[in-house]
Amino acid sequence: LAKTTQPISMDSYEGQEVNITCSHNNIATNDYITWYQQFPSQGPRFIIQGYKTKVTNEVASLFIPADRKSSTLSLPRVSLSDTAVYYCLVGDDNYGQNFVFGPGTRLSVLP
Amino acid sequence: GAVVSQHPSRVICKSGTSVKIECRSLDFQATTMFWYRQFPKQSLMLMATSNEGSKATYEQGVEKDKFLINHASLTLSTLTVTSAHPEDSSFYICSARDTDRDRETQYFGPGTRLLVL
């Protein structure tokens, strides 16, 4: 089971780009990397998923280096509504492996 | 697509009673659903994995006789907290995988806040 390490908290200002890095040194060959966003008293929301290189969607980009031992979630031009906890999960679709949450990163976007 | 609902969203009960929480995948079939518990300011903790038509698999330290899970159809899983006590008060969240489309991604329900008095 690939353990993940993220910064506990980050602060940013509106309009800035925010990069949150997750370390997963023992990631396995079949593991995917998935990021979720959670607001208070809500279930996590899927943001982005990748296996290698770079993935981009309408809300974020995910950068994964060649060794896949880390990944970086990039949020362009954050707003106050992006204040949330962001979780990085690593695993494959085998039973149980993709579903252990670390402590996450609490992002605070300031005006 | 990939919408998961939970009912109820909030429940208050007396100590010793049982509470049932429903988790439904609204627009896809989910052979596997997951149940999590989250205490304030903490991360989600996986409680069990629910597979349609078979017994749930519980994580270490989770009492299967206290947290009964039933996954009778491809769109519904239920979690029953039996003989609830104040320490069971928490935020319970389910998730489901859309196995036909995206096997690596979970879709989460909105959560159920349980308060045991």
Cα separation of A30 and B115, whole Å? 40
pLDDT tens-digit series, residues B27-78: 888 888 999 999 998 999 999 998 888 889 999 999 999 999 998 888 999 9
Q: Kindly state the average pLDDT of the residues A39-58.
A: 93
Task: Report whether pLDDT(A97) > 80.
Answer: no
Q: Which of A44, A92, A104 sits opposite B108 (nearest CB)?
A: A44
- Closest chain B residue to A91, measured at CA: B104
3-state class of A27 per DSSP?
Answer: coil
Task: Report whether pLDDT(B9) > 90.
Answer: yes
Please state the φ and ψ torsions of residue A81, each to the nearest 5 degrees.
-75, -5
Question: Is A104 in the B-facing interface, judged by CB distances under 8 Å?
Answer: yes
Provide the pLDDT confidence category of residue A94 given band limits of 50, 70 and 90.
Answer: low
Q: Kindly state the average pLDDT of the residues B80-93.
A: 97
Cα separation of B14 and B17, whole Å? 6
Q: Any idea of the CA torsion for B81, B87, B89, B94, to the nearest 10 degrees? A: -50
